[in-house]
């Protein structure tokens, strides 16, 4: 199994594909599963769903558990120099979704071998386009949470910081909501020598940015984590002309929906007051790109128990701090209780996710598959 999963991971790693373009990846997954007699379907252009139904008669036949992997890569040029490095210029599996895919595919194979031991169904979801966000939503709209409806869902992700063979679990809020804001300030152009004849969008923008940085620092409870980051600012035409307009974009991260609504409301007030003071105009757009990820206590405890059975109790690592990064696994959790877990895959010199040097310890693949197998079987057997 271990070699098979390493081979699958390397195949996907060599040929990374960006979000919603995972055509080859999808067919590699389909081939891998169909060779083991697992039937798959494609609810969207580049997503795969596999159903493994138990053949044991009796209780539990209506139970359904979903396992989810993401399958897309990133627009990064790989610099690991490994024999299995990306052969596609400028695209790389720098988040380990190749490994996530191999772990869920491995679990599918292990479960298919044990069909006669359980009743009920395991639904393996191979989801495209996690990185650009929208992949989970697309799969949900395409009906992956129907026919059959899963009772619960577990998502797995390799983690380059956790020791190989350990499983990282976290109670409650785990990943942040991802919001994007766009502020356009509409001032009035004028000669740089006569500022009183115009409305300087750059000076207004500077005050807006300073002020936004005080929202989290001064108006939000310091024990509730939140981030406001301005990522881009554009405006102005010449050194001696007052800028007619400036556009500012940025992101807000928070761990619950109340917090993100509070921050949006306060930001709107700051922008309105500052712009008004200068008699200029503005527009303010605030969009949600992803929801906060909150683990279900029940599914978490299932993962802990099954993880201990598969890896040994000492290899369960409780993650203390949530991350302000986003993960669209949270979309499934609107409909189905679930839990997101980390499989440790640390190399002697670890590199962070989304680094051009990112790689994982491949010994984690078979371990991750075994953990997922144990989680699914435990659930279906009602353990």
Q: Which residues bind Ni ion (CB under 5 A)?
A: 95
- Minimum distance of Ni ion from residue 120's CB (angstroms): 29
- CA 226 to CA 213: how far, in whole Å? 11
130 vs 374 by CB, closer to Ni ion: 130
**Residue 383, C-beta contacts closer than 8 angstroms, at least 6 positions apart:** 305
- Is the CB of 15 or the CB of 184 nearer to Ni ion? 15
Work out how close the CB of 131 gets to Ni ion at its nearest, in angstroms, rounded to a whole number: 7
Minimum CB separation of residue 377 from Ni ion in Å reads 26
DSSP characters over 51-99: EEE----STTTT-EEEEEEE---BS-------TT---STT-B--S-HHH
First to last CA, the chain: 25
Cα distance between residue 53 and residue 132, in whole Å: 32
Which of 130/373 has CB closer to Ni ion?
130
Query: For Ni ion, which is the closer residue by CB, 95 or 133?
Result: 95
Token couple for 222: 């310091």
**Quick one: 17 or 200, whose CB is closer to Ni ion?**
17
With CB atoms as reference, the residue minimizing the distance to Ni ion is: 95
Helix (H) or strand (E) holding 235: strand 226-235
CB of residue 87 vs Ni ion: minimum separation in angstroms? 21
CA distance 171 to 79: 35
- Nearest CA among 134, 92, 162, 146 for reference residue 345: 162
Q: How far is the CB of 155 from Ni ion (least distance, A)?
A: 10
């Amino acid at each position: 199994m271990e070699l098979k999963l390493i081979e699958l991971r390397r195949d996907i790693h060599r040929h990374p594909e960006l979000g919603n373009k995972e055509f080859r990846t999808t067919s590699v997954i389909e081939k891998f599963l169909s060779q083991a007699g697992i039937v798959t379907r494609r609810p969207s252009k580049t997503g795969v769903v596999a159903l493994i139904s138990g053949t044991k008669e009796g209780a539990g036949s209506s139970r359904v558990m979903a396992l989810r992997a993401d399958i897309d890569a990133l627009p990064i040029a790989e610099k690991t120099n490994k024999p299995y490095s990306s052969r596609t210029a400028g695209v790389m599996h720098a988040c380990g979704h190749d490994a996530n895919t191999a772990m869920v595919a491995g679990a599918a194979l292990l479960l298919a071998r044990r069909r006669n031991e359980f009743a009920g169904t395991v639904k393996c979801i191979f989801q495209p386009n996690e990185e650009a966000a929208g992949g989970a939503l697309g799969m949900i709209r395409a009906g992956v949470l129907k026919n059959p409806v899963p009772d619960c869902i577990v998502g797995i992700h390799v983690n380059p910081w956790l020791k190989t063979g350990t499983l990282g679990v976290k109670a409650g809020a785990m990943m942040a909501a991802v919001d994007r804001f766009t502020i356009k300030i509409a001032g009035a152009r004028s000669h740089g020598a006569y500022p009183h004849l115009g409305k300087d969008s750059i000076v207004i923008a500077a005050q807006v940015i300073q002020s936004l940085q005080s929202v989290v620092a001064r108006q939000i409870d310091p024990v509730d984590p939140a981030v406001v980051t301005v990522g881009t600012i554009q405006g102005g035409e010449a050194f001696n002309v007052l800028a007619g307009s400036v556009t500012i974009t940025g992101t807000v991260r928070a761990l619950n929906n109340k917090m993100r609504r509070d921050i949006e409301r306060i930001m709107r007030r700051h922008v309105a007051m500052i712009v008004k003071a200068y008699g200029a105009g503005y527009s303010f757009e605030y969009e949600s790109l992803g929801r906060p990820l909150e683990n279900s206590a029940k599914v978490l405890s299932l993962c802990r128990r099954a993880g201990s059975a598969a890896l040994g109790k000492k290899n369960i690592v409780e993650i203390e701090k949530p991350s302000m990064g986003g993960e669209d696994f949270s979309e499934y959790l609107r409909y189905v209780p679930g839990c997101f877990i980390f499989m440790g895959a640390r190399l002697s010199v670890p590199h962070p996710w989304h680094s051009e040097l990112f790689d994982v310890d491949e010994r984690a693949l078979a371990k991750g598959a075994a953990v997922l197998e144990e989680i699914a079987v435990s659930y279906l057997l009602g353990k």
